[in-house]
Amino acid sequence: MRRIMILNAKGGSGKSMLATNLASYYAWLGKSVVLADLDPQQSSLGWLSVRGDQYPRILGIELKDGRLRIPGKPDYLIMDTAAGSFGQSLANLVRRAHSILVPVQPSPTDLRAAARFVHDLLVVGRVSRKQTRVALVANRVRQNSDMMGSVQKLLNSLMIPFKTQVSQNEQTMEEFLQMFKIPLIATLSDSIAYQSADAKGVGLFELEEAEGIKEKWQWQSLIDWLASRKSLPVASKNK
Ligand SMILES: Nc1ncnc2c1ncn2[C@@H]1O[C@H](COP(=O)(O)OP(=O)(O)OP(=O)(O)O)[C@@H](O)[C@H]1O
Ligand SMILES: [Mg+2]
């Protein structure tokens, strides 16, 4: 069973969007999928509740007394989480996953929050030991936008590891995120296709073939990463 978690302390970054689309993608492929909603807001379970019977089944579960009871042995366990996780509760969440996707939106405020969150994640033992693998996903990207110097200063003050110093003038969101020690694996557009899928309880790949074609292509690198060894724990590999 592959355990994939969507996590970012920042609210509204696209966690539930990623969780529901990923669950629907694997279900659409014919895999057995459990979607665990660890958020009391229950957006993912809400999405599932409007999903019609004509679509491949996804089993929704929630925390009971702090525990997740996973029925059977699904191929994929996709976990949606609540905003605001840090400290011990963050470490407890990380333990549940092989791979964590962190959706990040391109506004300076979101990037600043993401920088802090990545910092918090990198100090979790499992992440630093690569027992849980983390990747960033740029979400709701409209165009390449120059990043503000204040964000870079903030990164410096947090002592977040940089690969390179990129000139601020030329710095795009992608380049900014690539400075983190964790990979940026996909850039997803801000698109009405996600809202339209969300309203129907389906994912992008379950929309009409002609709908959201560009958006579907943008998922390829994310799916490739999740299928690669880079997304698996170094010690236990899988299972
Ligand atoms: N790429 C996108 N294009 C268009 N709309 C999007 C995209 N990603 C997310 N949204 C919309 O943005 C809103 C917030 O997304 P979502 O609910 O997935 O965030 P979240 O991180 O789960 O929020 P919360 O922290 O409240 O749980 C939703 O209305 C969602 O449909
Ligand atoms: Mg959510």
pLDDT in tens, 40-75: 999 999 999 999 999 999 999 999 988 999 999 999
Q: Check if 81 has its Cβ closer than 6 Å to any atom of ligand 1.
A: no
Residue with the two structure tokens 């690569």 = 130
HSE of 40, CA atoms in CB hemisphere, 13 A: 5
Model pLDDT for residues 127-185, shown as the tens digit of each residue: 989 999 999 898 988 754 444 344 444 455 555 544 444 444 445 556 666 666 788 88
Question: What separation in Å is there between the alpha carbon of 28 and the centre of ligand 2?
Answer: 22
Give the nearest ligand 1 atom to 195 CA: 31
Q: What is the pLDDT of residue 186?
A: 87
In whole angstroms, give the CA distance from residue 76 to residue 218.
Answer: 21
Q: Does residue 198 register a pLDDT over 60? A: yes
Mean pLDDT value of segment 87-105: 94
Q: Check if 190 has its Cβ closer than 6 Å to any atom of ligand 1.
A: yes
Q: What is the pLDDT of residue 46?
A: 97
Q: Which of 10, 117, 194, 196, when mutated, tests ligand 1's pocket best, judged by the most ligand atoms within 8 Å of its CB?
A: 194
Question: What separation in Å is there between the alpha carbon of 83 and the centre of ligand 2?
Answer: 7
Mean pLDDT value of segment 211-236: 93
Q: Could you tell me which residues come within 8 angstroms of residue 126 by beta carbon, excluding any fewer than 6 positions away? A: 91, 94, 95, 132
Q: What is the pLDDT of residue 179?
A: 61
Q: Check if 140 has its Cβ closer than 6 Å to any atom of ligand 1.
A: yes
Question: What separation in Å is there between the alpha carbon of 198 and the centre of ligand 1?
Answer: 10
On average, the pLDDT of the chain sits at 86
- Concatenated DSSP letters of the chain: -EEEEE--SSTTSSHHHHHHHHHHHHHHTT--EEEEE-STT-HHHHHHHT--TTSPP-EEEE-BTTB----S--SEEEEE--S---HHHHHHHHTT-SEEEEEE-SSHHHHHHHHHHHHHHHTSHHHHTTSSEEEEEEEEE-S--PPPHHHHHHHHHHTPPPS-PPPGGG--HHHHHHTSSS-EEEEEE--HHHHHHHHHT--GGGS-TTTTHHHHHHTHHHHHHHHSGGGS-TTT---
Q: What is the pLDDT of residue 176?
A: 61
Q: What is the pLDDT of residue 168?
A: 45
Question: What share of the chain in percent tops pLDDT 70?
Answer: 82
> Are 106 and 142 in contact, with CB atoms under 8 Å apart?
yes
Question: What separation in Å is there between the alpha carbon of 12 and the centre of ligand 1?
Answer: 5
Q: Which domains does the chain have, with CATH numbers?
A: 2-229 (3.40.50.300)
Question: What separation in Å is there between the alpha carbon of 168 and the centre of ligand 2?
Answer: 32
Using a CB cutoff of 5 Å, list residues around ligand 2, an ion: 15-16, 43
Confidence at 232, pLDDT banded by 50, 70, 90 = very high
Q: What is the pLDDT of residue 72?
A: 92
Q: Does residue 2 register a pLDDT over 50? A: yes
Token pair belonging to 6: 């969507």
Q: Check if 194 has its Cβ closer than 6 Å to any atom of ligand 1.
A: yes
User: What separation, in Å, do the N-terminal and C-terminal C-alpha atoms of the chain show?
Assistant: 5
Q: Check if 49 has its Cβ closer than 6 Å to any atom of ligand 1.
A: no
Q: What is the pLDDT of residue 108?
A: 75
Q: What is the pTM of this model?
A: 0.88
Task: Please name which ligand lies nearest the alpha carbon of 102.
Answer: 1
Q: What is the pLDDT of residue 128?
A: 87
Confidence at 109, pLDDT banded by 50, 70, 90 = confident
Question: What share of the chain in percent tops pLDDT 90?
Answer: 64
Q: What is the pLDDT of residue 107?
A: 79
